[in-house]
Amino acid sequence: MYDLLLIRYGEIGTKGKNRHVFEQRLEANMEKALRGLGIDKIERAHTRFYIPLTANTYDMVTKLQKVFGIASISPVKRVALDTDAITQAALDIMADSLAKQGASSPGQCTFKVETRRANKGFPLTSPEMSKYLGARLLEAFPQLSVDVHHPDMTLQVEIRERFSYVYTERIPGPGGLPVGVSGKGALLLSGGIDSPVAGYLMMKRGVAPLAVHFHSPPFTSERSREKVLELAQILAGYGGPIPVHIVYFTEIQKALNAHCPPKLMITIMRRFMLRIAEAIAKAEGALALITGESLGQVASQTMASIFVTNQVVELPVFRPLIGSDKLEIVDLAQQIGTYKLSIQPYEDCCTIFVPRHPETHPKQLEVDAAEAKLPVDALIEEALDKTEVVLCGEG
Ligand code: ATP
Ligand code: MG
């Protein structure tokens, strides 16, 4: 029935002189997403793409719905610039659509025809074409009746320079910008609910993430490490692969536990996390850190805590969830497919050695003084030395 997918992009259209950079990235990301489905060529034509339907439409659309930058997708039939050919395509598409809906009684299904004629050389005007096709469809299918305001179905015809396109569906894409156009960011990825969602949101704005995970064996188990790799694998489905840097955090936690005032432990631990993530980010050419923090959610996420932890890094820290409620975050986690995994109960390094009363308003001077008792640089160096990198979502 259909022979192509028509891909429209949204925000990229506003990019002026840089537009081709965005288009190239989107094309490459679509190719990657469709790898293995036998696509040999994606056609680019003025603010849109055409992809041959070489595989099952549903499979292809499902994959493309995870490619950021796509505004909408329509399965289309491409025909010549010829009224008879367009009419035949419209009849075929309508027959198929009515059969799928099981519409059999007279007038049961309402429709309208919409024509857009970009090619002014075509002999019929848009209203003339719509009127003509509407009459032919009514004649052929007694199940149809016209409703121009709230039709069940709209048959779309686009008359362009070289071809005409006929279709009925406009399937929403994920929006956003193609992954990679905004550069790299280092995502502090825990096994919790929030950080995978934060990573997803930054990917949606074109960031290619690398992940940094702090792992404290034997206090945190092999399974908790696997869980994080599985979360990274799910995120990689939106534009991976994602390298996950697994940082050996045990000695740092032991040192904190032995030498820090309990109420400042979390603040200092988070400062270590940010410092290490920044060192990895810089080595990998990433220009921002990303966390799943949400203002006020826990003691380490008050403004005062965020202020004191932020002091130790110079890269910007993106916190896309800072203004979101937990329920909103949970909703998104469910939509993107990370929630079920995130709620599996495995320990995280944040949950071991947790003081009963963490400081909600840590003072910079006190934190600096407590930290001065630790061999900060040596601890960080050791943790970085023992960092292992696992690539998630390749192939
Ligand atoms: P999450 O659900 O993302 O784990 P949270 O609500 O549990 O967040 P915290 O444990 O305070 O909050 O962590 C805040 C942020 O710090 C996380 O969103 C994540 O970005 C980072 N983080 C926490 N633990 C780790 C870890 N073990 N490895 C890497 N990053 C971590
Ligand atoms: Mg957590």
Please give the helix or strand (H or E) that residue 232 lies within, else none: helix 222-236
Q: How far is CA 179 from CA 33, 153, 183, 237, 238, in A?
A: 12, 33, 8, 11, 8
Q: What is the pLDDT of residue 349?
A: 64
* Listed residue (154, 195, 201, 194) closest to 179, CA to CA: 201
Q: What is the pLDDT of residue 190?
A: 95
Q: Ligand 2 centre and the CA of 187: distance in Å?
A: 13
Q: Ligand 1 centre and the CA of 58: distance in Å?
A: 36
Q: Ligand 1 centre and the CA of 289: distance in Å?
A: 13
Q: What is the pLDDT of residue 269?
A: 95
**In the predicted model, is pLDDT for residue 191 greater than 90?**
yes
Atom 24 (ligand 1): residue with closest C-alpha? 190
Mutate to test the pocket of ligand 1, among 187, 188, 190, 269 (most ligand atoms within 8 A of CB): 190
pTM of the model: 0.94
**In the predicted model, is pLDDT for residue 351 greater than 80?**
no
Nearest atom of ligand 1 to the alpha carbon of 211: 29
Number of Cβ within a 10 Å radius of residue 288: 19
Q: What is the pLDDT of residue 18?
A: 83
Residues with CB under 6 A from ligand 1: 188-190, 192-195, 212-214, 291-293, 297-298, 300, 348-350
Q: Is the dihedral of CA 350, 351, 355, 360 positive or negative?
A: positive
Mutate to test the pocket of ligand 1, among 187, 189, 193, 194 (most ligand atoms within 8 A of CB): 194
Atom 21 (ligand 1): residue with closest C-alpha? 188
Q: What is the pLDDT of residue 36?
A: 85
Q: Give the mean model confidence (pLDDT) for residues 250-279.
A: 95
297 burial (CB, 10 Å; 0-12 / 13-18 / 19+) is middle
Q: Ligand 1 centre and the CA of 344: distance in Å?
A: 15
Full set of structural domains in the chain with CATH: 4-172 (3.30.2130.30), 184-392 (3.40.50.620)
Share of the chain above pLDDT 90, in %: 83
Do residues 39 and 7 make contact, with C-beta atoms less than 8 angstroms apart?
no
* Listed residue (191, 177, 163) closest to 348, CA to CA: 191
**In the predicted model, is pLDDT for residue 21 greater than 70?**
yes
Q: Which residue has the higher pLDDT, 320 or 298?
A: 320
Q: Ligand 1 centre and the CA of 254: distance in Å?
A: 19
Task: Give 315-343 as a DSSP string.
Answer: S-EE-TTTT--HHHHHHHHHHHT-HHHHT
Task: Give 237-295 as a DSSP string.
Answer: TTT--EEEEEEE-HHHHHHHHHHS-GGGHHHHHHHHHHHHHHHHHHHHT---EE----T
Q: What is the pLDDT of residue 354?
A: 72
Task: Give 47-81 as a DSSP string.
Answer: SEEEEE--S-HHHHHHHHTTSTTEEEEEEEEEE-S
**In the predicted model, is pLDDT for residue 393 greater than 80?**
yes
Per-residue pLDDT reduced to its tens digit, 56-88: 989 999 999 999 999 999 999 999 999 999 999
The Cα–Cα gap between 56 and 130 comes to 30
- For residue 227, the 8-state DSSP code is H
Q: Ligand 1 centre and the CA of 195: distance in Å?
A: 6
Compute the 3-state secondary structure of the chain and give helix, strand, coil in percent, each to the nearest 5.
45, 20, 35
The Cα–Cα gap between 329 and 48 comes to 32
Sequence-distant (≥ 6) Cβ neighbours of residue 331 within 8 angstroms: none
* Listed residue (21, 7, 103) closest to 51, CA to CA: 7
* Listed residue (190, 273, 297, 288) closest to 235, CA to CA: 190
* Phi, psi torsion values for 210, nearest 5 degrees: -115, 150
Find the ligand nearest to 293 CA: 1
**In the predicted model, is pLDDT for residue 50 greater than 80?**
yes
CA atoms lying within 13 Å on the CB side of residue 10: 17
Nearest atom of ligand 1 to the alpha carbon of 247: 28
Nearest atom of ligand 1 to the alpha carbon of 351: 10
Q: What is the pLDDT of residue 10?
A: 82
**In the predicted model, is pLDDT for residue 206 greater than 90?**
yes
Q: Give the mean model confidence (pLDDT) for residues 179-191.
A: 97
Q: What is the pLDDT of residue 13?
A: 64
Q: Give the mean model confidence (pLDDT) for residues 42-52.
A: 92
- For residue 299, the 8-state DSSP code is G
Q: What is the pLDDT of residue 352?
A: 65
Nearest atom of ligand 1 to the alpha carbon of 348: 27
**In the predicted model, is pLDDT for residue 114 greater than 80?**
yes
pLDDT-derived band of residue 378, with 50, 70 and 90 as boundaries? very high
Q: What is the mean pLDDT of the chain?
A: 94
Lowest mean pLDDT among 112-116, 218-222, 382-386: 218-222
Find the ligand nearest to 294 CA: 1
Q: What is the pLDDT of residue 46?
A: 81
| 140: its two tokens | 């052929």
